[in-house]
Structures are given as C-alpha cells and as structure tokens.
Amino acid sequence: MIDYPIRRSDRARRARINVSAEGVEVVVPRRMALRQVVPFVEEKRPWIERTLRRIREAEEAAAVRLVDGGSVPYLGSSLALRVRVEPGRVRSFVGLRGEVLDVAVGSPGVEAVRDALEAWYRRRARIEVAPRLDAACARAGVRYTRLSIRAQRTRWASCSSTGAMSFNWRLLLAPPEILDYVVQHEVAHLEVLDHSPRFWRLLGSRVPAYREYERWLRRNGPALRL
C-alpha cells in the first residue's frame, strides 16, 4: 500500500505525483474530483515503486555517519567529522579546517549534529553559488534580482519571473559539475522562463552534456541528504 497526502493547487493544470526521500505526495488541480486520485495513483504504481526503490538504494549507497569519525560529502570531496558535545552550549559551532569539519553541539545525538551541519551548509551554499551565478550571468549578458538559499523538497533551484534565484543547499552534497550545471540551467531561465524546446536549445548551447547531468540528478538526487 502506498500512503500519500493529497495537496490541491490553484497552479496545477493536471495531477502529478512527487516522489522523494520524504515519501509520496499527490498534487491535483483545485477542481479535480478526489475519486479520480486513487485510479490515477494505481496507474502510476509501478513507476512510484521503482522510484522509491531507487531512492532507498541510493541512500544506502551514499549513507553518511553524523558522528565523531564519520564523514560528509562536499562538492565531490569528503570531509571528516570531528564532533564534540559540550553540555550547556547554546549555539552550535561548525568550522572547516582543511578537510576536517569541527562540530561542537550542546546535546548528544545525530539530530543536533544534523541541524548544525545543515546551518553550515546553508551558509556555504551562498558562498559557493554566488560567484558561479555572477559569472554565468555575466557571460550570458543577463541579471538576476535576488539570491536565496533554501531546502526545497522537490526542486534543486528556481528562477522567478522577476529574476529572483533560489538554490537548494543540498547541491553542495553533489559533485561541483552538478552545481555548475544547475546554475547554468537557472541562468537560462532568465531568458526563457519555461521548459520549451527553445529553452533546451539555449541550455544545450551552453552545457552540451546537460542530459547527462539531468540523468545524474534523477538517479542520485535522492541520496543528497544528511
């Protein structure tokens, strides 16, 4: 049995299914009858089960250990974790020294380490994304209006009609060429906002191997988690 919440959306033109490491979500147009959801999901069941299985396999292959002596990925490299618990510490600390991440938390357990690391990755994401985005925009002769770092569930990045850019911090868990590709993808959206053939032609002229990077994200994206 597949458990899933149903979310109605004013923007959805047709029903879709989001499958991620957090589970399955069904998004339907506001006027769609709920009785249509079950047969829709059943029709997609083989794909859903294959995707969930691929996610589990990817997570097992790329499992990280958020403990002292463990390690985490960072743009194609591996950073060793040095974790210490300091009772009474109010704010966690994460510092990078060479290829070692020094982590100090106020309470024991994986959750405290994960929260500290996510905050650090968010800060680092802005440092890594901003110069890449500026350089790509300069080469394309376009401009963006704002950069934000988020933890989107189903998106790696987005570009609004006003030129506001948003990137998922989890991209730092991928190799650097994947981050570079996603930046180029969003910069192309500054010129073509949709995913029309014109968009893919433009992106292909700048990133000839874009299909390879898209496949990598579909295959390995679910494992990019702490």
Instruction: Indicate the pLDDT class of residue 181, thresholds 50, 70 and 90.
Output: very high
Q: How far apart are CA 134 and CA 64, in angstroms?
A: 32
213 and 155 housed in the same domain: yes
Specify if 66 maps to a domain. Answer: no
Specify if 25 maps to a domain. Answer: yes
Sequence-distant (≥ 6) Cβ neighbours of residue 129 within 8 angstroms: 147, 149, 167, 171, 179, 183
Encoded amino acid at 209, one letter: A
Q: pLDDT of 102-125, one tens digit each?
A: 999 999 989 999 999 999 999 999
17 and 102 housed in the same domain: no
Specify if 203 maps to a domain. Answer: yes
The interaxial angle of helices 210-220 and 176-189, nearest 10 deg, is 120
Q: pLDDT of 96-108, one tens digit each?
A: 999 999 999 999 9
What is the residue range of 206's domain? 71-223
The CA-based angle 50-53-59, given to 5 degrees, is 140
CB-CB contact of 183 with 132 (8 Å): yes
The per-residue pLDDT for 128 is 98
The H or E element that residue 84 is part of is: strand 77-85
**What average pLDDT score do residues 22-31 get?**
88
